[in-house]
Amino acid sequence: MNNTLRFPDEFLWGASTSAYQIEGAYNDDNKGENIWDRFVRRDARVLNGDTGDIACDHYHRMPQDVALLKKLGIPCYSFTISWTRILPEGRGQINVKGLDFYNRLVDTLLDAGIRPKATLYHWDFPQLLQDLGGWPNRDSVDWFAEYAQIVFEKLADRVKFWVTHNEPWVVAFLGYATGIHAPGVCDYSQAYQTAHHLLMAHGKAVQVYRQGGYDGQIGLTLNLNGLMPASDSDEDRAATQRVHDETHALFLDPVFKGEYPQALFNFIGPHKPNIQAGDLQLIRQPIDFLGLNYYNTDLVAFDIHSGLNKARLTPYSAPSWGRTEMNWGIYPAGIKGEALYVKKRYGNPDLYIAENGCAMPDEPDENGFVADWDRIRYIKAHIQALHEVIQEGVNLKGYFVWSIFDNFEWERGYGPRFGLVRVNYETLERIPKQSAYWYRDVITNNAINL
Ligand code: FCB
């Protein structure tokens, strides 16, 4: 029996990070304040009072970090750009030092033979623009386009792989509905308006990119986690459909079909966003690929007390899998379900898994080494499911693990560790875990061994 699952020759392996989670240097070199800089200073918003002020100090250690990526054989590095490093006030005056950091990052990556992939927005909105209303303000579409244009002009000659937004659902609903993320607002109307403006901002940035005539590809990354009804009851099925519409169709339908899910809008009634003539055309720009982030699957039950959707989510795990350190379920087949869903409903676009990985209870030995076989098991099972996805005709082009480094995990601070590389937050030393070496072999062989 052949126990090796080989991937197509052109399959792209990579690793992802995000600016606020690793860079630190929160006020160096004229960087402006963003909403996470502000949020972490509000009482009890982040576990243990942790902040991203220093994080992995990647801003100061970038050359060594790129050298480590090279040593670990990472072919493509997916990073995100901090808006207020480039535009401290969110618009207007450009900060050359901020732009220069990303310029150096890109050159250092290319010198190391690593392909750069850049995301414009991973949740760190400029505070001064937040003071003007943030994403719920329709002007945010133009603010974002201005920022995008500046970044493209500087970097798109060398960066050929662009993402507008990472996980707009999280921005809209955790930022503006449940308020567990910055800016900490609890208002469904603002959440839906934010979703609409994020989509318009995406469309406008794609237009700007096309008008610039750059010869790369641009897309959007969504978190499409799995959902299953907790029972066969009509109530649970309907609740699942609502959550599915909010997390999937609300973003996929306008981008790929130029329409919003009407059943959801009927259900939320007065909370639905203001949409003007031409908005949906702007959103429906052809994109070159879709980024899909998958971590877990939840069971959904009707619950009159649970939010606008009246839906309660509980983690689901396949037999023998248990849960991750985040208390997320583990269901590798779910990643396959999501990829097949996108293929079936949205015309089989080129697809990248832009994030997948897990926080595990890493136990370093006396040298700081972590033998994280549980993480390897998780990642391998998901990659195995993706191999099946390719056999079933999905245009899956690559896989990016979240994350290369342990980092600041938003409202959970430095508790959960997702990295293939351990970061000692006292000394800031980086120590590759077992999974980093295992992943290097996967990349070298372009295959997993079962
Ligand atoms: C995703 C985020 C990423 C990280 C992982 C665990 O939703 O995009 O920043 O926090 O979850």
Measured from the CB, is residue 124 less than 6 Å from ligand 1?
no
State the virtual CA torsion across 207, 288, 220, 72 in degrees, nearest 10.
-130
d(CA 328, CA 295): 8
Within 54-183, residue ranges assigned H as helices are 58-71, 83-86, 96-111, 127-130, 140-155, 168-169, 175-176
Give me the phi and psi of 113, to 5 degrees please.
Answer: 80, 20
Q: Is the C-alpha dihedral spanning 280, 160, 53, 84 positive or negative?
A: negative
Residue type, 407: N
Helix ranges (DSSP H) in 275-332: 279-283
Place of tokens 């098991």: 377
Residue corresponding to tokens 């500087």: 154
CA 148 vs. chain centroid, Å, equals 18
Question: pLDDT tens-digit profile of 176-230?
Answer: 999 999 999 999 999 999 999 999 999 999 999 999 999 999 999 999 999 999 9
The C-alpha atoms of residue 181 and residue 205 are separated, in whole angstroms, by 24
The confidence score (pLDDT) of residue 368 equals: 97
Instruction: Please choose from 173, 382, 402 the residue to mutate so as to test ligand 1's pocket, defined by most ligand atoms within 8 A of CB.
Output: 402
Neighbouring C-beta atoms of residue 340, cutoff 10 Å: 16
Determine if ligand 1 sits within 6 Å of the CB of residue 167. Answer: yes
From the number of C-beta atoms within 10 Å of its C-beta (0-12, 13-18, 19+), residue 129 rates as buried
Q: Which amino acid is located at 198 in the chain?
A: L
- For ligand 1, the distance from its centroid to the CA atom of residue 52, given in whole angstroms, is 14
Nearest Cα neighbor of 422 from 343, 373, 346, 363 is: 363
Contacts of 189 (CB under 8 A, 6+ apart): 270, 271, 273
Other residues' Cβ atoms within 10 Å of the Cβ of residue 430: 20
- Which atom of ligand 1 lies at the shortest distance from residue 166's CA? 8
- pLDDT at residue 2 greater than cutoff 80: no
The reply to whether ligand 1 has any atom less than 6 angstroms from the CB of 279 is no
Contact 80, 17 (CB under 8 A): yes
Whichever domain contains 284, its CATH number is: 3.20.20.80
In a domain, 175, yes or no: yes
CB-count exposure of residue 444 (10 Å: 0-12, 13-18, 19+): exposed
What ranges make up the beta strands (E) of 231-345? 289-293, 297-302, 311-316
- 309 within some domain: no
- 355 CB within 6 A, ligand 1: yes
How confident is the prediction for the chain on average, in pLDDT?
Answer: 98
Measured between alpha carbons, how far is 16 from 298 in angstroms, rounded to an integer? 24
The verdict on residue 364 lying in a domain is yes
- CA-to-CA distance for 30 and 218, rounded, in angstroms? 29
Mean pLDDT of 362-367: 97
Separation of CA 357 and ligand 1 centre (Å): 9
Do 118 and 178 form a contact (C-beta atoms < 8 A)? no
355 as an active site residue: the answer is yes
Coil vs helix vs strand at 158: coil
**CB of 418 sitting under 6 A from ligand 1:** yes
Q: Please give the Cα distance from 309 to 239 (Å, whole number).
A: 7
For the Cβ of 405 lying below 6 angstroms from any atom of ligand 1, the answer is: no
Is residue 240 in contact with ligand 1, taking CB distance under 6 Å? no
How many other CB atoms sit within 10 Å of the CB of residue 234? Answer: 10
Q: Of 23, 33, 325, 355, which is the active-site residue?
A: 355
Distance (Å, whole) CA 374 – CA 166: 27
- Give the tokens for residue 251: 């973003």
Q: How many domains does the chain have?
A: 1
Q: How far is the CA of 446 from the centre of ligand 1 (A)?
A: 25
Report the separation in Å between the CA atom of 325 and the middle of ligand 1, taken as the mean of its atom positions: 14
Question: Per-residue confidence at 441, pLDDT binned at 50, 70, 90?
Answer: very high
Question: Is 109 a member of any domain?
Answer: yes
Residue found under tokens 């992802």:
16
State the residue range of the domain holding 206.
4-222+250-294+319-449
Residue 132 domain-assigned (yes or no):
yes
What 8-state DSSP symbol labels residue 246? I
pLDDT at 362 over 70: yes
> Does residue 312 lie within any of the structural domains?
no
116 lies in some domain: yes
Q: Is 402 in the pocket of ligand 1 (CB under 6 A)?
A: yes
Q: Of residues 23, 33, 167, 325, which has the active-site annotation?
A: 167
Distance of CA 291 from the midpoint of ligand 1 (Å): 13
- Altogether, the residues listed in the chain come to a count of 450
Q: What's the pLDDT tens digit per position in 251-294?
A: 999 999 999 999 999 999 999 999 999 999 999 999 999 999 99
Mean pLDDT of 372-383: 98
The predicted-structure confidence for 335-350, as pLDDT tens digits, reads as follows 999 999 999 999 999 9
CA 21 to ligand 1: nearest atom: 9
pLDDT (0 to 100) of residue 37: 98
- CB 166 less than 6 A from any atom of ligand 1: yes
* CB of 119 closer than 6 angstroms to any ligand 1 atom: no
Active site residue 167: yes
State both tokens at 328: 């997320």
Distance from C-alpha of 434 to C-alpha of 420, rounded to nearest angstrom: 8
Compute, in angstroms, the gap from residue 171 CA to the centroid of ligand 1. 11
- Averaged pLDDT for residues 246-252: 99
305 lies in a domain? no
Cα-to-centroid distance, 230 and ligand 1 (Å): 25
